[in-house]
Amino acid sequence: MGEILTNYDVLGAFWMTIKLAVLSTLGSLVIGTVLAIFRLSPVGLLRGLGAFYVNTVRNTPLTLIVVFTMLGAHSNLGIRVGDTILQTVFRWAVIALSVYHAAFVCEALRSGVNTIPVGQAEAARSIGLSFGQSLRHVVLPQAFRGAIVPLGNTIIALVKNTTVVAVIGVAEIAYLTATVMENDPGLILPLFLVVALGFIVLTVPIGLATTHFGRRLAVQR
């Protein structure tokens, strides 16, 4: 194990994984919240757009979305998101992960909305709140509290799914693993142990935190 840490930048690879996870989590939360608003909207077109996005994206393999960002959006369509190749692949990886997991964030928030009694939305309308005001002051705050655990599960899945972006050359831990397997096959077993331990360190605290806050912040009925 010492040889792996000495000869390869394992910490740097995990740091790249952490950056991908953090930025993609923020992106997916923003996009997913917008999608949830679409799906709750009284406007039929917006509801249809939200449903189409969720049903299409969550049933599309993440690998396909990641590859499309580079081969489709970058190479064929000429959409540029960075000045260097390293910057480009990193940003496309964040975009792909955000777009994919936003569909699951949306459904997690919808599950949180389903925990809110219908009477609360009706009461908000009865005192003159608009749809947007009802969402901002009544529905979404409670929905986020009710969806803490499923959101946490989505974030854990996102952290593990960062390994997929190795297919476009992002130098995270899965990319390093492929490099070690090619150059030093004898280090495969200890490397797998390091990677497994690293992901446990990253994901277990998220699970414990979401369970704790899910119980603590649950809306009492």
pLDDT of residue 116: 78
Any idea what DSSP says for residue 218?
P
d(CA 102, CA 176): 27
What would be the CATH architecture of the domain defined by 2-216? Answer: Orthogonal Bundle (1.10)
Residues 49, 50, 51, CA angle at the centre, nearest 5°?
Answer: 95
d(CA 23, CA 27): 6
pLDDT of residue 221: 55
pLDDT of residue 100: 96
- The residues near 214 (Cβ < 8 Å, ≥ 6 apart) are 148, 149, 152
pTM of the complete model: 0.89
d(CA 74, CA 28): 21
Sign of CA dihedral 64, 66, 69, 72: negative
- Segments making up each domain of the chain, as ranges: 2-216
Please tell me the total number of residues recorded for the chain in this structure: 221
pLDDT of residue 76: 82
Q: Tens-of-pLDDT digits for all 221 residues of the chain?
A: 666 667 777 788 889 899 999 999 999 999 999 999 999 888 899 999 999 999 999 999 999 999 998 888 877 888 888 778 888 889 999 999 999 999 999 999 988 887 777 777 777 777 877 777 888 878 888 888 888 999 999 999 999 999 888 877 776 777 777 777 777 777 788 888 888 898 999 999 999 999 888 888 766 55
Distance, CA of 166 to chain centre = 16
Q: What tokens appear for 185 in the block?
A: 């096959």
Q: What tokens appear for 221 in the block?
A: 């009925």
